[in-house]
Amino acid sequence: MSGGGQNGSIRHLPLPITWLAPELAALELPEERASSCASCPMAGAPFDPAVRCCTYHPSLPGFLVGRALRRADTGSERVLARLEDPDGRTGWGVRAPRAWQREYRRDREVAFGRRVSWRCPYWVEGPLSCSIWRDRNAVCRTWHCKHDDGLPGHRLWVVVRGLMHAVEDALARLCEARLGAPDPDAPVEVWAGYYLACAELVDRLEAEDLLALEDPELLSLRARVREVHGALHGEVPDVVAPQVAEVREHPDGVELVGYSPWNPVVLPRSVFVLLAELDGERPWREALERAVAADPSVQAGWVELLWRHGVVRRKSDPDATWGFEGDDLDPDTLDRVLSSG
């Protein structure tokens, strides 16, 4: 979904987004080499290769819809085809149809990556599979199936997603307020013209337009991105305890699931000796010494691996495993969309 890498994540964004959220361009974001979409490691198992992670209907703000339309390529054809269905066509942009949103919210834990009928309307065949890659939204830019830095990397992408989405949302609202949405039953050409005008408006925005969008919430999201980015390569805390979500057999030992079922860590079975010593009371260095004394095959580097994969955490850390945090179907948005029609 992401297309990988820092440059891939922010490339082709309209400039006002990086002016409003300079962290997106200034901070070094992980390249996420393991999320290698061109040779997707998830195709076949656990994801269906006919959809991979694009079992999704992104909410595209109007100015991104317009940018995709004016490229006059396969992506613009896909967007025009999507506009034929009025469900989800709004002044804000093009959202997922309501029935799709309900089904997604109900089944995403089991059907994500597998339900072919959920294939994104902008999907095309080929290794990268996205016809609107240059104009994809914050969710598609920041979602990765695996994270080279494990849980800290996942946390960073979630807050980057929140910041990018907030800026997209602010710009989409500004366009709607200035241009006024067409009549809901207006022909497709009228809607397409509106979204093209949104793209042009965002291109022409100037500093004073953007100043009005710099609210306390945006400043707080930016600060949060800097904070989480600063913790990306932090050391393992002194005291950690196991939070193993699942144990699977593996030819090389065991596969331990911590923060994500899609990014487990594989270690020899003697890792259980170490896990038993990491009791959340004694410092991990002492626990490691005791484990090595009991079984010399235990390796010092395992603690960092377990930490990065969320298999051991601070006792105070939330115990949730991988989730759909920060996708654009947050309860408030969803409820607003569902109750509006």
User: Site residues (CB under 6 A) for ligand SF4?
Assistant: 1-2, 35-37, 40-42, 47, 52-54, 56, 58, 120, 122-123, 129-130, 132, 136, 140, 144-145
CB 212: neighbour CB atoms within 10 A?
9
- Its sign, for the CA torsion 128, 132, 138, 140, is negative
- Residue 317: which of 302, 331, 307 has the closest Cα? 307
With respect to ligand SF4, which residue has the nearer C-beta, 7 or 36? 36
- Residue 105: which of 116, 93, 92, 118 has the closest Cα? 118
Prior bond to 46 cis, omega within 30?
yes
CB 322: neighbour CB atoms within 10 A?
19
With respect to ligand SF4, which residue has the nearer C-beta, 65 or 287? 65
With respect to ligand SF4, which residue has the nearer C-beta, 36 or 220? 36
User: CB of residue 305 vs ligand SF4: minimum separation in angstroms?
Assistant: 21
**In the chain, what is the greatest distance between 2 CA atoms, to the nearest angstrom?**
75
Q: Which tokens in the block code for residue 59?
A: 């909410």
User: CB of residue 22 vs ligand SF4: minimum separation in angstroms?
Assistant: 25
* Chain centre distance of CA 35: 12
User: CB of residue 133 vs ligand SF4: minimum separation in angstroms?
Assistant: 6
User: CB of residue 189 vs ligand SF4: minimum separation in angstroms?
Assistant: 23
User: CB of residue 144 vs ligand SF4: minimum separation in angstroms?
Assistant: 5
With respect to ligand SF4, which residue has the nearer C-beta, 146 or 222? 146
**Exposed/middle/buried for 187, CB within 10 Å: 0-12, 13-18, 19+?**
exposed
Question: Which backbone phi and psi does 77 adopt, to 5 degrees?
Answer: -65, -45
With respect to ligand SF4, which residue has the nearer C-beta, 141 or 313? 141
CA distance 127 to 202: 31
User: CB of residue 78 vs ligand SF4: minimum separation in angstroms?
Assistant: 9
CA distance 13 to 138: 10
DSSP of 312-333: EE-TTS----S--TT-S--HHH
User: CB of residue 74 vs ligand SF4: minimum separation in angstroms?
Assistant: 11
User: CB of residue 103 vs ligand SF4: minimum separation in angstroms?
Assistant: 16
CB 26: neighbour CB atoms within 10 A?
10
With respect to ligand SF4, which residue has the nearer C-beta, 53 or 275? 53
CA distance 337 to 117: 22
